[in-house]
Every structure is written in structure tokens, then in C-alpha cells.
């Protein structure tokens, strides 16, 4: 009986994914939630972030600081998911993937974007943004259209944006572009 119980406990523990902290909420105002699996946590300062967390703001905003010094600000009425975050502090390399589906999100690159430039991707319903060490703002509207603004705070910044595999756009310096949720002219 003990062997069966140990085997059952081992199987249960091995089948549950465990993620380490990849950052935390550094600032918070108003109402927001971090959804993790079937649990919901109030978005409070100091709450650890993990891969696959879904960030949902109501009448609130938050700033997230990641362990590679990436910074993400999410404003009111926004939705975002942290799909992947892998970081090796010894080599300062890794991979980062996020999905913004509604609202306004500001992204400022950390070590991953500076040292693993091909491995940072941010998706919206209408665009895939490849980050090359930069600071930008994106706004995703209710029908999936995206407006992306490369901010002048980064002197090495570059963004490449692919829209439904129809067109590639790259920006350096202060620039802005709107991308609709279907192929065609913008």
C-alpha cells in the first residue's frame, strides 16, 4: 500500500509544471489580476511573475520588472500573457515571448533583447514584433488593430514588425505605425 501511495504522489508531483519567479510587480495602481492556471491573484506590488501568467487590468495599471531588467508597463483595461521567459544570468542570454491582446503596453528591453536579439517576440492579434534592444509602446484596439510607437529613449533600438506575413517593417529612432488585423494597406 505504501509503494502505491508513493508512486501516486510521485506521478502527481511530476505531472504538475513548476515555474520559477521571472520577475515581480514593481508598481501597481487600481484594479488588476494575475491569472495563473486556475488561480487569480490581485496584482499587488511584490507579487512574483511566472511563465504563462495572464495580466488583466481593469481600472488600474501595473509595472512589471523582470529578472533580466526588462520592464513592461500595462495600462488600464489591458490584457497580456507572458508566454515564455528563459534567462541565464551568467551569459545574460535567453528568450522572451509575450502576447498583448487588448489595451496599451510599454516595453523596455532588458538583457535578453540586448544579447539574444532574435529571441524576443511580442505578438498582437495583428502583428508579430521582433525586438532588437529598444523601448516602445503598443496599443491594441478591440478589433485587434495595433499601433506601435518606437520611443526615443533607446539609442540602439530597432523594431521589426510582421503583419500576417504580408509585409515586414523595421524602425529605428522615433517612429509610429498602425497595423490593421488583416492584410492590405495601412
Q: What is the pLDDT of residues 33-92, one digit of tens each?
A: 999 999 999 999 999 999 999 999 999 999 999 999 999 999 999 999 999 999 999 999
Give the CATH number of domain 21-179.
Answer: 2.60.120.1440
pLDDT of res. 127: 84
What would the mean pLDDT of 117-127 be, rounded to a whole number?
Answer: 87
Write the CA distances from 137 to 48, 63, 66, integer angstroms: 23, 13, 17
Q: Answer yes or no: is pLDDT of 4 > 70.
A: no
User: Residues 49, 50, 54, 59: what is their CA dihedral angle, to the nearest 10 degrees?
Assistant: 0
pLDDT of res. 132: 73
Q: Answer yes or no: is pLDDT of 178 > 70.
A: no
| Three-state DSSP state, 145 | coil
What would the mean pLDDT of 118-138 be, rounded to a whole number?
Answer: 84
pLDDT of res. 128: 83
Q: Given the DSSP bridges, would you call strands 39-42 and 23-36 parallel, antiparallel or unpaired?
A: antiparallel
* CB 97, CB 83: distance < 8 Å: yes
What would the mean pLDDT of 90-114 be, rounded to a whole number?
Answer: 94
What would the mean pLDDT of 134-158 be, rounded to a whole number?
Answer: 77
Q: What is the mean pLDDT of the chain?
A: 81
In the chain, where the domains are located: 21-179
What would the mean pLDDT of 148-170 be, rounded to a whole number?
Answer: 57
Give the pLDDT band (50/70/90) at residue 163: low
Amino acid at each position: 500500500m505504501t509503494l502505491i501511495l508513493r508512486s501516486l504522489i510521485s506521478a502527481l508531483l511530476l505531472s504538475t509544471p513548476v515555474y520559477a519567479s521571472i520577475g515581480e510587480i514593481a508598481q501597481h495602481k487600481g484594479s488588476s489580476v494575475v491569472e495563473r492556471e486556475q488561480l487569480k491573484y490581485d496584482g499587488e506590488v511584490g507579487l512574483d511573475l511566472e511563465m504563462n501568467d495572464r495580466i488583466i487590468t481593469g481600472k488600474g495599471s501595473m509595472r512589471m520588472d523582470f529578472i533580466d531588467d526588462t520592464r513592461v508597463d500595462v495600462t488600464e483595461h489591458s490584457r497580456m500573457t507572458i508566454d515564455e521567459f528563459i534567462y541565464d544570468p551568467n551569459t545574460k542570454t535567453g528568450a522572451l515571448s509575450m502576447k498583448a491582446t487588448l489595451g496599451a503596453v510599454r516595453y523596455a528591453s532588458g538583457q535578453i533583447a540586448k544579447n539574444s536579439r532574435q529571441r524576443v517576440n511580442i505578438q498582437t492579434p495583428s502583428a508579430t514584433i521582433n525586438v532588437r534592444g529598444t523601448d516602445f509602446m503598443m496599443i491594441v484596439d478591440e478589433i485587434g488593430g495595433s499601433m506601435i510607437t518606437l520611443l526615443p529613449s533607446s539609442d540602439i533600438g530597432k523594431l521589426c514588425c510582421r503583419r500576417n506575413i504580408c509585409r515586414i517593417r523595421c524602425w529605428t529612432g522615433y517612429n509610429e505605425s498602425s497595423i490593421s488585423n488583416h492584410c492590405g494597406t495601412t
